[in-house]
Amino acid sequence: MVRSRRNGRRKKDGESGGGGMERWLLTYADLITLLMVFFVLMYAISTVNAEKMEAVAQSLSQVLKGSAMEIMDFSGPAIIEGQSGATPGTEELLASAMKMAAAQEQLEQYLETLEAIDPDVSQNIVIMQQERGLVISLKDTLLFPKGSAELTPRARQIISGVGRSLSELPNYYRVEGHTDNLPIHTAQFPSNWELSALRANNVARLLISENAVDPEKISITGYGEYRPLVANTNEINRAINRRVDIVVLKQKYSYFEPSSP
């Protein structure tokens, strides 16, 4: 009788073990199913709808009035084409740097010659090499009457000489106008924005008209009083801040300038 009870107990234990095995398989199958669903969803999210992207690109192009955007094949390496279609290589950057150095030397020689005739020039023109490129900074007293954007005859002569020194460079240019923080309220210039922008515009137009600088490679900016070199705390500092900067961009920065279609 005792032996019979033990056999019955073993049978029940065996039945319990079989049921546990089946439950484990069900749990494992559920896990595999969930993982499959997860990866299917991730794939669906990462898949680009080319038609929708094309529609978005066309809409943005129309709004921004730029050239048509292109949806490129993502199956291989690609870049967004800019002015040259590719970032400049090492040899191109080196050649551009050598041309800019030669232009700077020619410009400095011109200013030395000019200084012999007009000693005041050296106090009103600063040549700097910055990360973005070559900067020729001209004080406003050298270029304009007070509160005006009209270039003086002396200014036209100086800017023409600067332009001749730079005319062989293929780089892009920026002409930036700056003022001090003293407000101006005239019919022509409601604020320093307008004064700085028109001053930059007149310098750029002279570079284009007399030195055959490509107008597609020049942009102008009027910063008003908002990009000072020093704090506008006294008249000496304000005189430093009133200036027009001619910036010859380095080739690696010229690449990012917009080009005509």
Q: List the single range of 72-76, 176-180, 204-208 with lowest mean pLDDT.
A: 72-76
The tens digit of pLDDT for each residue in 50-60 reads 666 566 566 55
How large is the average pLDDT for residues 198-206? Answer: 98
Report if pTM > 0.75: no
Highest-pLDDT range among 22-36, 91-105, 113-127, 236-250: 236-250
Pull the structure tokens for residue 7. 């056999």
Q: How confident is the model at residue 18 (pLDDT cuts 50, 70, 90)?
A: low
122 vs 13: which has the higher pLDDT: 122
Q: What is the pLDDT of residue 61?
A: 58
Long-range Cβ contact pairs of 73-82 (< 8 A, separation 24 or more): 74/48, 82/255, 82/256, 82/259
pLDDT at 181: 97
- The residue ranking higher by pLDDT, 91 or 169, is 169
In terms of pLDDT, which residue wins out, 24 or 94? 94
For residue 46, the model assigns a pLDDT of 63
- The pLDDT, as a whole number, for residue 58 is 65
Contact (Cβ atoms closer than 8 angstroms) between residue 178 and residue 245: yes
Confidence of residue 77 (pLDDT cuts 50, 70, 90): very low
Q: What is the pLDDT of residues 209-259, one digit of tens each?
A: 987 688 999 999 999 999 999 999 999 999 999 999 999 998 777 666 666
pLDDT score at 235: 96
The region of weakest confidence among 37-51, 95-109, 170-184 is: 37-51
pLDDT of residue 68: 44
Minimum mean pLDDT among 103-117, 193-207, 224-238: which range?
A: 103-117
pLDDT higher for 28 or 3? 28
% of the chain with per-residue pLDDT over 70? 70
- Arithmetic mean of pLDDT, 149-157: 96
pLDDT band for position 260 (50/70/90)? Answer: low
Q: What per-residue confidence (pLDDT) applies to 67? A: 46
Note the pLDDT of residue 79: 38
